[in-house]
Amino acid sequence: MPYSLLDLAPVPEGSEARDAIANSLDLARHAEGWGYHRYWLAEHHNMEGIASAATAVLIGLIAQQTSRIRVGAGGIMLPNHAPLTVAEAFGTLATAFPDRIDLGLGRAPGGDQSVIRALRRDPMADSFPQDVVELIDYLGPKQPGAAVRALPGEGTEVPVWILGSSLFGAQLAAHLGLPYAFASHFAPDALEQALHVYRSHFRPSARWQKPHAMVAVNVFAADTSAEAARLRTSMQQAFARLRTGQTGKFPVPVDDIDAAIGAPMRRAVDQSLRVTACGTADDIRDQLGRIIAEYRPDELILTGQIHDHQARLNSFRIASEVLSDMPASRAA
C-alpha cells in the first residue's frame, strides 16, 4: 500500500518562513529516499505558523529538488481561485515535471472572512462542483477550437483528487469518478460514513475504474514513547490556539500538556486529533495496523507537525520503516 506525506511547512517558534521552506525541501528529499509515494502541501492563508500559502510555488521548488516522488497539493482551496488560473499553474508544473504532479482540491477557504475578502472572492458563491468539472476540462485533451484554453495545461491530464471531511466531498468524488482523500488527521467524525458513501456510489471514469480512498493520519514517532508524546504536545497546543482564535508560530513542546492548555481543552483537541499514531516503532506499527484494518484505505498519507526539524525527520523515517515492513495482509 502506498504511503505518502502531507506537509504544512510549519514555522516553529524561534525561526522564520525561510527556515520552514528550507526544512520542507530537506524533508522532501529524505521522504523520496524513504519510499514515500507523494509529497503534498496545503494552502492556508494569514497564518504565521504555516509557510505554504503560495502552494503551487512551493510545489515547484520541491519538485525541482527531487526526482521521483510525486509532488502536489493537498490541497488547493478552489473557491479562492478561478479554475483557469489553477489549470495554468498546475499545467505549467506538469509540463516541467511530467507525470509527477497531483492536484487535490478542497472546498474550504483556507482562512477567515478577512482572507476571503482579501482574495476578492464572493463568500456566498458555492460553485465548487462546476468549478471542478471546468478545471478538469482545462487539463484534459487538447481543444484547439475552444474559446479559452489552459496553455500550458491542456493535455497534461494532471490527476485531480477531491479532498474533504464531510459527505459532500465523498459524494462529489464518487459522482465524478475521482480519487478521494479524507482529512481524518483533524476532522475524523464522518470518516467511516464518508468512505462508505464514496465506495458505494462510485461511478467509474476514464482514469479511475474503481474507488481510491486516502486516509490522513497524524504520526509522532520517536525512540521512546515519552519523547513521542512530548513531540505531540506542539500540535496539541497549536490546535488549542486555533480553537481559541490565537495566532502565532508553531509552539515548542512542553512536559505537561494539561498545564499548558488545560485538561478539558486537551480532551477536546485529542478527540479531533484521534486518528493519530504516537510512540515507538512498535507502537506506530500497532496503531497504524488498527487504522488500516478498520478503514481499509487504498493509501495512507501521514502528517505530523513537530517543532524540531531533526525530530520531524526521525518521526517520518520511523513511520516509513514501519510501513515498508508491514505485512501485506495488514496493508490490504
DSSP annotation of 207 reads S
- Give Cα 287 to chain centroid, integer Å: 20
What residues contact 8, with CB distance under 8 A and at least 6 apart? Answer: 41, 42, 44, 50, 52, 303, 305
Question: How would residue 328 be classed by pLDDT, with cut points 50, 70 and 90?
Answer: low
Task: Give the model's pLDDT for residue 331.
Answer: 39
- Give the other-Cβ count within 10 Å of 200's Cβ: 10
Is residue 52's pLDDT more than 90? yes
Is residue 116's pLDDT more than 80? no
- The single-letter code of the amino acid at 320 is S
The answer to whether residues 317 and 284 touch, using CB atoms and an 8 Å cutoff, is no
Q: Quick one: CA torsion of 282, 225, 299, 92, rounded to 10 degrees?
A: -130
- Give the other-Cβ count within 10 Å of 153's Cβ: 23
Answer left, alpha or beta for residue 36, where phi above 0 means left and psi between -120 and 50 means alpha. beta
Mean per-residue pLDDT of the chain: 94
3-state helix, strand, coil in the chain (%, to 5): 45, 15, 40
The C-alpha atoms of residue 46 and residue 53 are separated, in whole angstroms, by 8
Task: Give the model's pLDDT for residue 117.
Answer: 77
Can you tell me the mean pLDDT for 89-112? Answer: 91
* DSSP H or E segment with residue 299: strand 299-303
C-alpha cell belonging to residue 310 = 531533526
Can you tell me the mean pLDDT for 50-69? Answer: 97
Q: Is 189 in a helix, a strand, or coil?
A: coil
The CATH class of the 3-325 domain is: alpha beta
Is residue 121's pLDDT more than 90? no
